[in-house]
């Protein structure tokens, strides 16, 4: 079974600074997908960024980028120029690339605090 580990229960960063959230995963599959979801205090999860395992290029979405290290099974999220609105729980998630509607396997989450 796949597992996702987020080793940082909480991270704090000054506004406008850069922060990196860590995620490692375990799988025997060679093709899969990885995601970072954000869950603000309102509790509706929204997708921040996704990465296909077969793509070597790291995904980027504006201030959000990932460092995907397939051999190390590592998938960290970098948030540049942190803003107060970035404060939330961040979940790393994994999905098989199988033809079925595979559910996401989530990590325990990292609570990101933005210091003004």
Shortest reach from residue 22's CB to another protein, in Å: 15
Longest dimension (CA), the chain: 45
- Quick one: 36 or 82, whose CB is closer to another protein? 36
> Using the rule CB under 8 A, is 40 a contact of another protein?
no
What residues from 12 to 31 belong to the interface with another protein (CB under 8 A)?
none
> Using the rule CB under 8 A, is 44 a contact of another protein?
yes
CA–CA dist 75, 72 (Å, integer)? 9
> Is the distance from CB of 18 to CB of 81 less than 8 angstroms?
yes
Are β-strands 110-115 and 10-14 bridged in parallel, bridged antiparallel, or unpaired?
parallel
> Using the rule CB under 8 A, is 106 a contact of another protein?
yes
Looking at the chain, how many residues does it have? 116
Which region, judged by CB under 8 A, interacts with another protein, from 12-20, 65-73, 76-84, 104-112?
104-112
Q: For 40-87, where are the E strands, in sequence order?
A: 46-52, 60-61, 64-69, 74-79
> Using the rule CB under 8 A, is 77 a contact of another protein?
no
Binding residues for another protein, rule: CB under 8 A, are 33, 35, 37, 42-47, 50, 52, 91, 95-109
């Amino acid at each position: 079974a796949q597992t996702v580990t987020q080793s940082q229960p909480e991270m704090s960063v000054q506004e406008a600074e850069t922060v990196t959230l860590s995620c490692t995963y375990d799988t025997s599959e060679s093709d899969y997908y990885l995601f970072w979801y954000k869950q603000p205090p309102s509790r509706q999860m929204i997708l921040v960024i996704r990465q296909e395992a077969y793509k070597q290029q790291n995904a980027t979405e504006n201030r959000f980028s990932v460092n995907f290290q397939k051999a190390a099974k590592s998938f960290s999220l970098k948030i540049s120029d942190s803003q107060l609105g970035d404060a939330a729980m961040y979940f790393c998630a994994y999905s098989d690339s199988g033809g079925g509607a595979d559910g996401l396997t989530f990590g325990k989450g990292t609570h990101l605090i933005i210091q003004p």
